[in-house]
Amino acid sequence: MYPRIIKHSKEKSFFLFGPRGTGKTTWVKSSFPQAVFIDLLESEIYNDLLANPQRLERFIPRDFKEWIIIDEVQRIPAILHEVHRLIEKNRYCFILTGSSARKLRQRGVNLLAGRALKYSFHPLTAVELGNDFNLQRSLKYGQLPSVYIESDPKSYLESYVETYLREEIQQEGLTRNLSAFSRFLETASFSQGAVLNASAVARECAIERKVVENYFAILDDLMIGYRLPVFTKKAKRRVIAHHKFYFFDVGVYRTVRPSGPLDLPEEMAGAALETLVFQELRAINDSLRLGYDLFYWRTADQVEVDFILYGEKGIMAIEVKRTNRITEQMTHGLKTFLKDYPQAEAYLFYGGNRPIYEGKITILPIQEALLQLPDILQGVSIQK
């Protein structure tokens, strides 16, 4: 098991949300070996607690002082009322893992009204992989934990996507038309890292726009898709209004997206690199509780910066380029952004092999940048 960098509460209950396959269950079991573990994917336990959530107390030894883990808590939203009662009555500490918050919100559950913190779990990061980190492997198969230990990661990812369709979409009743949703997934994959046009996606997969909007909301709720908003704070020039779209992991994106002789390899490779940086930014920001909000920036005249991080720690602009040569045009977006936001830190990650320093812009090889990303985001001086 790879060590995870997530910072978590030592004495207060918390939710741990993340897509299936990111290693939540493995992590909680290894990090809290003395905990009572209640698996709601186990049929007998699920049926018992579904019939009567108050039976939860029977699973906990008398005078128990350790953590209590409820895995896949979204399967029985009503159990949170009992969790709430037991926190108040016995001061128990719960860890509540889940791969979807959709049912919890739809059933009006209050997520324990502040009595539990909320954390997010992501695919592995380069830092967590350490010496096993392989940039080309990550760009091809992503960074789900099993991908780095499976002998056939391609087959694993194909099974992963199919399982998600069956277990999370069909069994949970999120959509009645699985065929339409499958077409939508493929079409959405062509929007990876691009400005999202829901009407165009609807036309391409022959589905009504309002249905497509609901499908994107499903991806949000299952944490397998993410819509990145445009940065507009104190804008000095007109910016566009549409979000960009990303699947949460490179390997999942490449598995969902159909490919053939008419698909340009460089197009997919560019989206894959941008996706890898995006998932690393999200994972490190959430795991280390850095508090950044993530955006992108694009003006009406198409000047763009791939990622903007904004929070109490400051403003950071990051551009990603696959090429191993840097031209003036490639830094134009960052330079324009710095004119409007001179207090920002600016980075360009590229396919070359040596750091370059151009004015306020730090240009780093992509592998080096990913391994130093926690320090970069925390404002620690990086190695030069």
Q: What is the pLDDT of residues 209-265, one digit of tens each?
A: 999 998 998 898 889 999 999 999 887 778 777 899 999 999 999 999 987 654 555
Amino acid of residue 4: R
List of residues 6+ apart from 301 with CB closer than 8 A? none
Half-sphere exposure of 330 (CA within 13 A, CB side): 19
Residue 57: what pLDDT? 94
Structure confidence by residue, pLDDT tens digits, 266-303: 566 889 999 999 999 999 999 999 999 999 999 988 89
Ranking 14-28, 102-116, 236-250, 367-381 by mean pLDDT, the lowest is 102-116
Which pLDDT band, with edges at 50, 70 and 90, does 58 fall under?
very high
Q: What is the CATH number of domain 283-377?
A: 3.40.1350
97, 71 Cβ separation under 8 angstroms: yes
18: closest CA among 81, 79, 82, 71?
71
| DSSP β-ladder status, 345-350 and 361-365 | parallel
| DSSP β-ladder status, 314-320 and 345-350 | parallel
Helix 178-189 crosses helix 209-221 at what angle (to 10 degrees)?
80
CA gap 223, 374 in Å, rounded: 22
Q: Give the angle 55-58-59 at the CA atoms, nearest 5°.
A: 105
Q: Classify 40 as helix, strand or coil.
A: coil
Select 14-120's CATH number: 3.40.50.300, 3.20.20.100, 3.40.50.2300, 3.30.479.30: 3.40.50.300
309: closest CA among 298, 296, 319?
296
* CA-to-CA dists, residue 328 to 70, 78, 299, 331, 342, angstroms: 53, 57, 18, 6, 19
Domain ranges for the chain, please list them.
Answer: 14-120, 126-264, 283-377
Residue 1: what pLDDT? 80
User: CB burial class (10 A; 0-12, 13-18, 19+) of residue 358?
Assistant: middle
User: CB burial class (10 A; 0-12, 13-18, 19+) of residue 217?
Assistant: middle
Place of tokens 């370059």: 356
pTM of the model: 0.92
Place of tokens 């999200």: 282
Which pLDDT band, with edges at 50, 70 and 90, does 141 fall under?
very high
Q: CA-based Rg of the chain, rounded to a whole angstrom?
A: 22
Which pLDDT band, with edges at 50, 70 and 90, does 384 fall under?
very low
List of residues 6+ apart from 303 with CB closer than 8 A? 332, 333, 336
On average, the pLDDT of the chain sits at 90
- Residue 181 CA, distance from chain mean position: 21
Range 126-264: architecture per CATH: Orthogonal Bundle (1.10)
184 membership: H or E segment, kind and range: helix 178-189
Residue 107: what pLDDT? 57
Percent of the chain having pLDDT more than 90? 70
Residue 236: what pLDDT? 76
Residue 216: what pLDDT? 92
Select, from the ranges 62-66, 141-145, 195-199, 354-358, the one with the highest average predicted confidence (pLDDT). Answer: 141-145
The average pLDDT across 30-54 equals 95
List of residues 6+ apart from 193 with CB closer than 8 A? 244, 245, 246, 270, 271, 274, 275, 278
| Same fold flag, 14-120 and 283-377 | no
CA gap 203, 220 in Å, rounded: 21
Neighbours of 265 (CB within 10 A): 8
**Which pairs count as long-range contacts for 83-86, CB under 8 Å and 24+ apart, including other chains?**
83/13, 83/56, 83/112, 84/112, 84/113, 84/115, 86/56, 86/57, 86/60
306: closest CA among 276, 263, 283?
276
Q: Is 289 left (phi over 0), alpha (psi -120 to 50) or beta?
A: left
